[in-house]
Amino acid sequence: MLEMIYSAFLILGVVSLALYKCPKTALWVGFGLPSLVSLYSVVIFITNINLTYGFKLAGNFIFSPEFILTPLSGFFSFLVVFISFGVGIYTIGYAKSLKNRANLAVFASLFNFFILSMLLVLSSSNVFSFIVLWEVMTLVSALLLKFNDEETSNKTVMIYLGVAQIGAFCIMIALLLISGVAGSMEFAQWQGFEISSGLSICVLTLLLVGFGSKAGMFPFHVWSPLAYPLAPSNVAALMSGVMSKMAIFGLIKFSLFLPINPGFGLSIMVLGALSALIGISYALVQKEYSKLIAYSSVENIGIILLGVGTGFYGIGLGEGTLALLGFVGALFHALNHATFKSLLFLGAGNIYNATQTKEIDKLGGLARKMPITAILFLIGVVSISALPPLNGFVSEWFIYRSMILGGLSESLLGRAVFALSIVALALTGAIVVFAFIKLYALIFAGVCKDEKIYNGAYEKSLFMPLGMFVLAFSCLYFGLGANNIIMFLGSVVMDLIPNATYSINIDVLSMPIIALLLCFLLILPFLLFGIFKANMSKARLSEPWACGFKFNSRMQTNSNAFVGDFKRIISKIIKFKEIKSQDSYFAKMNYESRSDDFWWNLLYAPVVRLNLYLGDKIGYMQNGKSSFYVIYILIYLYAMMIAGFYFLGE
Amino acid sequence: MEVLTILMMISSVLVFGFRSYKLSILSYVFQAFCLVSLFFLLANLHGAKELFSWAIIAFFMKVCLVPAIIFYLVKKLNLIHENEPTGGFLVSIVIAFGFSIATAMVIAPIFGEFSLIKNETALVASIFIFMMGIFGFILRNSFIKQILAYCLFENGIHLSLALSAYNSHSLVELGILTDAIFAVIIMSVLAYHYHKTFGHVDISKASNLKG
C-alpha cells in the first residue's frame, strides 16, 4: 500500500522529468496523475489511521531504511496528500502562467518529489533517514521557490536556506543527543532510557528552535514573509499549508520521547502567543496581499503552537484530558490551517494571474469579473477569521477550551501564562477579522481603481477554481462535520497519550445547529421585511454621493487608510518608515510607507555580519596559488598525524 | 630488495630534480620499473599471489601508458626545460629531500606496526617517495612537473599499500591501480588547454581564483 503510493509519486516525478521535451504532456502527467494518486492515498491514509504499518526497502546497500507510519504520521500524511490533491488540480490550470519562466516538466517533477519527500519525512524510522529526507525536503522546496525568478529571488532563497539550515542543525544535534543516550538510531527503540533533566531541557530547546525555524515560529519567522510571496502560489500553498506542519509533527513526535516538564509547554505557549500576535499585526499593515497571507501563516502557526503547548503542559502535569484537548485542538487547527491557507494562496495566485499585480491598492471590484474566485476566496477568508460555522472557528474553539481548562491548574505561572495566552488569542482573533476584511473588501468589493487591470481580469482556467473548490468544500465540511473530525483526531491523539480517556463529552458543540441558527439569523431580517411589507421599494442604483464632487474611484478607502488607526496604536512596536520622494518640483509627490521586520536585524543580521567578516578574513588564505593549497593539506596531514599519535596511540 | 627501494628513492629525487622534462620522465619510467620489479620480488618472497597481478597491471599503467601520455604532451607543447621553481633549482631539492627524509623516518615505525611486510627500508622509501611528490606539488611551478609529482606520490602510496595490506579487497586494489591513469589524462588535457590559453605552463601565475 504505502510503497505503492511512494513509488507512484517517484515514478511520476521521473516520468515528468523525462518528458522534458514536451511540457504540455508533462503538465498532465506531472499534475493530473498525482492528484488521482493523492485522492487514492487520502482514502488509504484515512482508513488505516489507527494502524501502525510500514515496509522495509529491500537490499543491503549500506543500510536498508525502513518506513513506518504511526497514527500521528498517518494523520500528517493524510494532510499532505489531501492538500496536494487540491493543489494538483489547481496547478493544471495555473502552470500555464509559468510557461515562460521555466520548463513545466521540471516544475512538475519537482512538485512530485516535494510531495514524496514530505511523505518520506513522515514515515522515516531512524535518525539518519529523517535528517537526510528533511534536508531533501528543504532543498526541493528551495528549488521550487526559484521558479518565480525575480530580482530578489536569489537573496530570499538564500535566507530561506540559511534559516532552514540553522534549524536542521539544531534538529540534528538534538536527535543525535537522544540517540546517544538511548543507544540506538532507530526511533522504535527509543523507549525507557534514562536522561538527565539538564540534557533533556537542552534537547527540548534545540528541538523547539529547530522545528520552530522550519514552521515559521516567532522569532524565527523572518523567512516566511519573504519566501511565501516569492513562491509560485501553488508552491506557497504547499509550503505554508503542509511543509510548515512537518515541523509541528517533528516537534510533537520527538518531544514525546523525552520526559516533559510543564515549563516546556508553557514556553511553547508563550512563543505561540507571541507568534500569533506579532504575525497578525504585521499581516494587517501589509500592502501586498500575498505578504498579508504569508504573515498570517506565522499567526496560525502561533495558534497551533498554543494548542501544542497546552498539550505538553497537560502531559507534564499528567492530566490526560488537558493533553487530549490541546493536541486535538492543535491537530485540528493544523488541518484547518492547511486547508484554508492553501485556499487563500491559490486564490491569491488566481488574482495575480488575472491582474499581474500584488498591490492591494491597485485592485478593486474584482468580484464582478471573477465571481467564482471571489466566492471561494470568501469561504477561505471566513474560515481563517474563525467565524462560525466554518472550520477555523471549531479548532480555535477547541484551543480556547483547552486553554481555559489549563488555566484552572494550580501553579501560578501556569495560570498567568494561560490567562495571557487566552487574551492574546482573543486579540489575535479580532485583528484577523480586521485584516481579512481589508483583504477581501479592497480586492473584491468596491469599484475598480485601475481600468487597465480591471478590464484584463477574468477567470483564466476552470481548473484553478476547481482546485480551490475542493479546498473550500473541505472548509465547509470540516466545520459542519466537526464531530467526525474530532473523533478521527481523538483516536490519533489517544495513541500519543496512552493514559488519556474521553473523560469529557467532546461533542458539546453541534456545528450543524450553529450553522442553521446562523443561516436563520441571516434570513430573519428579510423574513421580517416580507411579513411587515416594509422597505419593499426597489433599490436605486446610482453612483455614490461624494459631497457634491463627482465620485472617483480614488475616494475609496485604500489599504493604508483602512488600518491607519491601528498603525498609530501599534507604532510603538512595529516601526514604520515613511519615504517621501519627488522627481521634480512640479511632479507628483510619492508617499511610501514600509514596515520592516526588525527581528531580522535583531536576530539574524549579526550572524550574517559575523560570517561575512570571518569569510573576509579567511579569504586571505585563498590566495589562488595552488602550491599553497597543497601546503594546507600537508599541514593538516601533519596535524592529524600528531593528533592521532597522541590520542589514539595510547 | 633494499637495492631496489634505494634505487626508487634516488630516482624520485631525480624526477624531482632534473631540469629537462625528458630526463625527468625517463627517471620516472625507471622508478616505475623498479616498483614493478619490487612487486615481483615481494610476490616471490612472501608468496603473495595478488602482487603478481598488481605487478602486471602496474607495468602497463605506470611504465608504458602514463609516461607515454606525458611524453606526448611535452612534445605537443614543445617544451624542453622547466621554468624556475620556488626557491631555485638547488635549494628546492635540498628542502624537499630534507623534509621528506625526516617525515619518512618519523612515520615509518608507526606504519611498521600495521603493515604485513615489516621491511623498514621499504617503508621509509614509500613514505619518502610520497613526500617527494607532495613537495613537488608545493615547490614546482610547472604544470608538467606537478603531474609527475602526482605520479610520484601515487607510486609512494602504491608501494606502501603493497607493503602494508596487499590482501585488501579487490575493488580497492583496482581503484588504486587505475586511478592514476585517469588523473593523468585529465590533468594532461587541462595542461594542454592551460598552455593554449596562457602560452606557458607556469601555474604560479594563475591566481584568478583568488578569494
What's the mean pLDDT when you consider all of chain A? 84
Cα–Cα distance between B187 and B144 in angstroms, integer?
9
- Does residue A459 lie within any of the structural domains? no
pLDDT at A534 over 80: no
Given a cut of 90, whether residue B29 has pLDDT beyond it is: no
Interface A-B, measured as beta-carbon pairs within 8 A, has a size of 39
**Rounded Cα–Cα distance for residues A630 and B138 (Å):** 6
Contact at CB, B208 and A624, closer than 8 angstroms: yes
Asked if B141 reaches chain A (Cβ–Cβ under 8 Å), the answer is yes
- Last residue within a domain, chosen from A203, A231, A247: A247
* Beta carbons of A627 and B138 less than 8 Å apart: yes
CB contact under 8 A, A619 and B203: no
Identify residues of A whose CB sits under 8 angstroms from chain B CBs: 618-627, 630-631, 633-634, 641, 645
From residue B10, how far is each of A340, B32, B101 by CA, in Å?
A: 78, 12, 12
Instruction: Say yes or no: ipTM exceeds 0.90.
Output: no
- On whether residue A217 sits in a domain, the answer given is yes
Q: Please judge whether A624 and B107 are an interchain contact, meaning their C-beta atoms are less than 8 angstroms apart.
A: no
Over the stretch A206-245, which tens digit does the pLDDT of each residue have? Answer: 999 999 988 888 888 888 888 888 888 888 899 888 999 9
Is residue B86's pLDDT more than 80?
A: no
pLDDT at A302: 92
Please judge whether A624 and B86 are an interchain contact, meaning their C-beta atoms are less than 8 angstroms apart.
no
Query: If we measure between CA atoms, which residue out of A243, A248, A468, A504 comes closest to residue A351?
Result: A468
Q: Is residue A195 part of a domain?
A: yes
Tell whether A227 is covered by a domain.
yes
In a domain, A354, yes or no: no
Q: What is the mean pLDDT of residues B119-139?
A: 81
pLDDT digits (tens, 9 = 90+) for A246-288: 999 999 988 888 888 888 889 999 999 999 988 888 888 888 8
Domain boundary (A247, A272, A296) is at A247
End residue of a domain, out of A205, A230, A247: A247
Whether A440 is covered by a domain: the verdict is: no
Query: What is residue B170's predicted lDDT score, i.e. its pLDDT?
Result: 64
Can you give the residue range of the structural domain that contains A613?
Answer: 600-648
Q: Are B134 and A620 an interchain contact pair (Cβ–Cβ within 8 Å)?
A: no
Write down the domain spans for chain B.
1-78+90-198
Three cell numbers written together for A518: 446562523
Inspect the interface and report whether the beta carbons of B138 and A619 lie closer than 8 Å: no
Residue A63 reports pLDDT greater than 70:
no
Residue A419 lies in a domain: no
Q: Based on the structure, what is the number of domains in chain A?
A: 2
- Tell me, what's the pLDDT at B207? 62
Contact residues, chain A, for B137 at CB < 8 Å: 626-627, 630
End-to-end CA distance of chain A: 54
Quick check: is A145 in a domain? yes
Separation of alpha carbons A269 and A247, rounded Å: 16
| pLDDT of A152 over the 80 cut | no
| Closest partner CB to B107 (pick from A625, A634, A641) | A641
Q: How far apart are CA A266 and CA A272, in angstroms?
A: 10
What are phi and psi for residue A356, nearest 5 degrees? 60, 30
Q: Is-above-0.95 flag for pTM?
A: no
Tell me, yes or no, if B151 comes closer than 8 A to chain A by beta carbon: no
Check if B149 contacts A (Cβ < 8 Å): no
Rounded to an integer, the average pLDDT of A92-113 is: 83
Q: Is the distance from CB of B34 to CB of B8 less than 8 angstroms?
A: yes
Structure confidence by residue, pLDDT tens digits, A339-362: 999 999 999 988 888 888 888 888
Question: Closest partner residue to A630 among B107, B110, B138, by Cβ?
Answer: B138
Answer whether A627 sits within 8 Å of B86, measured CB to CB.
Answer: yes
| C-alpha distances out from residue A356 to A31, A225, A293, B76, Å | 23, 19, 17, 60
**What does the pLDDT look like over A312-328, one tens digit per residue?**
988 888 888 888 888 88
